[in-house]
Amino acid sequence: MTQYIPVTTCHDCGLLQQISHMPEDGAVKCCRCAATLRKRERVKPEKSIEHTLALVITALVLLAISNAFPIVQVDAEGHEMASTLFGCVKYLFTHDMVFLAGLVFLTTIGAPLIQLTGLLYILLPLNFKRIPPFAPQIYRLVRIITSWSMLEVLMLGILVSVVKLSAMATVAPSIALWSFALLMIVIAAILNDVDKEMLWGLISPDTKGRDTQQYKSGVQLTNCHNCHLIQALSAEHTSSCPRCMADVHWRKPDSLNRCTALVIAATVLYIPANLLPVMVVSSMGKTEGDTIISGVMYLATNGDLPLAIILFIASICVPTIKLVILYLLLITVHFKSQWRPKERTQLYRLTEFIGRWSMVDIYVDTLMAAMIQIQGLIVIEVGVGAVAFGAVVVLTILAAKAFDPRLIWDGMEKEK
Ligand SMILES: [Zn+2]
Ligand SMILES: [Zn+2]
């Protein structure tokens, strides 16, 4: 019997390669750019479904608790205030900040809810050896929405808000705060627990083993962007993935143009995001606006140096570094530069990893404004700068998603 060796193409550099040995609990890395090609988890495959299902149910219970109770209870001058996460979203919505309300809702409630219910829909029947209808499409949605779930960033935002609030009031953490912390850990465990290749094999048995079949030489092979199934492309360099139904392209279509447009839009909005106030405080008849920079300076000069450093990195360094890297990648790819392709690919991965952390400022502003509303004494509102800043964060995340890192390596190959 002929034994076929699995083949795959690297999602970051496009190199076609064989996986001759899969370590039991390790990761296989690309031999050219060191991207992780396959990862196998420590849990035994037959136990894996049951294990992940238990974690998903736990996470859903924690998500319900986190949203049912106020995040913190604030007592300022005898005025007691508390707000749930949904209360914060409602605050933004009723104050004409629909974009921010949508963004906060999507990243903290909507995305985790869709991610967890989607996994429950797939894993519960699988546990009883059944495949639910539309399982590949649902799993595809789960994988797309997962990148928009930002609970770990929200957790940092809550901690920063608690420290800031405790300077002006007595703050008591509630059950929802602990529940959020646990939820963050359980979701990280779920992401680490799911053996994606095994799950795809179970929900789409027809396509199982396709990575080990023999392809004629000269056929253009590529992996699906979503489920990573290897497939041959048509003469037009496109196909529809037989496993998750996503459109598969040789390279992301119009990658450079889309990425350039998004980066320019983000750069334009970066100016009002830094010049306009992100938070407006009205106290004793005086109204004062705080920009991102003045907020950080205020914290630094008032003895909250660790907090000032966190916000400086998340709100000033991260968006700036991200824009600089994206410009560097766009320019070098446009001129087909041969300069350090591996390092440029690593820079691309860095932009994907750090982008979400800028959301901290949005969460802090929202929580502070939703909590501190004592008419006649002190009222905090979210400033219009926060809307521009939120748009910068979203646009840079979309720009990084639009960029195809394989273009870095295409320039190298054509020159040879
Ligand atoms: Zn690679
Ligand atoms: Zn696919």
Q: What is the CATH number of the domain that holds 413?
A: 1.20.140
In a domain, 76, yes or no: yes
2 lies in some domain = no
Task: Classify residue 331: in a domain, yes or no.
Answer: yes
The residues placing their C-beta within 5 Å of ligand 2, an ion, are 224, 226-227, 229, 241, 243-244, 246
Q: Which ligand is nearest to the CA of 248?
A: 2
Cβ-based neighbour number of residue 362 at 10 Å: 26
Residue ending a domain, among 215, 243, 271, is 243
Lowest mean pLDDT of 14-23, 58-67, 285-294, name the range: 14-23
Structure tokens at 247: 């459109």
Q: Do residues 154 and 134 share a domain? A: yes
Nearest to 271 by CA among 292, 296, 297, 299: 292
Domain boundary among 187, 214, 243: 243
Considering every ligand atom, which ligand is closest to the CA of 35? 1
Q: What is the mean pLDDT of residues 312-340?
A: 94
Answer whether residue 185 shows pLDDT above 80.
yes
Same domain membership, residue 262 and residue 234: no
Give the count of alpha carbons within 13 A of 408, CB side only: 25
Q: Which amino acid is at 37?
A: L
The reported pLDDT for the residue numbered 25 is 63
The token pair that represents 195 in the structure block: 């053996």
Residue 50 domain-assigned (yes or no): yes
Count CA within 13 A, CB hemisphere, residue 299.
20
Residue 45 pLDDT exceeds 90: no
* pLDDT at 170 > cutoff 70: yes
Judgement on whether residues 29 and 48 belong to the same structural domain of the protein: no
**Is the domain of 100 the same as that of 172?**
yes
Is 169 in the same domain as 300? no
Complex prediction ipTM: 0.92
Q: Kindly state whether residues 183 and 258 are assigned to the same domain.
A: no
Domain match, 399 and 331 both = yes
Ligand nearest to the CA of residue 144, numbered in listed order: 2
- Domain identity same for 326 and 216: no
Instruction: Give, rounded to a whole angstrom, the gap between the first and last alpha carbons of the chain.
Output: 39
Reply yes or no on whether the pLDDT at 414 is more than 60: no
- Band the pLDDT of 117: cuts 50, 70, 90: very high
**How far, in Å, from the CA of 70 to the mean position of ligand 1?**
46
Where is average pLDDT lowest: 197-201, 343-347, 394-398?
Answer: 197-201
The verdict on 239 and 171 lying in the same domain is: no
- Of the ligands numbered here, which is closest to the C-alpha atom of 28? 1
Q: What span, in angstroms and rounded, lies between the C-alpha atoms of 334 and 410? A: 11
Q: Which helix (H) or strand (E) holds 290?
A: strand 286-290
Examine the domain organization and report whether 139 and 19 are in the same domain.
Answer: no
Helix 341-354 with 318-334: angle, nearest 10 deg = 140
Residue-averaged pLDDT of the chain: 88
Ligand 1 mean position to 13 CA, how many Å? 4
Q: What is the pLDDT of residue 416?
A: 47
Which of 15-24, 354-363, 402-411 shows the lowest per-residue confidence on average (mean pLDDT)?
A: 15-24
Q: Give residue 122 CA to ligand 2 midpoint distance, Å.
A: 17
> Domain boundary residue among 199, 232, 266?
199
Laid out side by side, the sheet with 72-76 consists of 79-82, 72-76, 170-173
Q: How many domains does the chain have?
A: 3
Q: Tell me the three state secondary structure of residue 79.
A: strand
Same domain, 160 and 228: no
Within-domain flag for 283:
yes
- Interval 1-12: pLDDT, tens: 445 567 788 888
Give 284's pLDDT tier (boundaries 50, 70, 90). confident
Question: 1 lies in a domain?
Answer: no
Whether 137 is covered by a domain: the verdict is: yes
Considering the domain architecture, whether residues 321 and 369 belong to the same structural domain is answered as yes
**What is the per-residue pLDDT across 227-272, written as a single tens digit (0 to 9) for each?**
888 888 776 767 788 888 888 888 899 999 999 999 999 999 999 9
Tell me which residue range forms the domain holding 134. 44-199
Asked if 11 and 228 count as a contact pair (C-beta separation under 8 A), the reply is yes
Residues 186, 155 contacting (CB under 8 angstroms) = no
Calculate Rg over the CA atoms of the chain: 24
User: For residue 248, is it within any domain?
Assistant: no
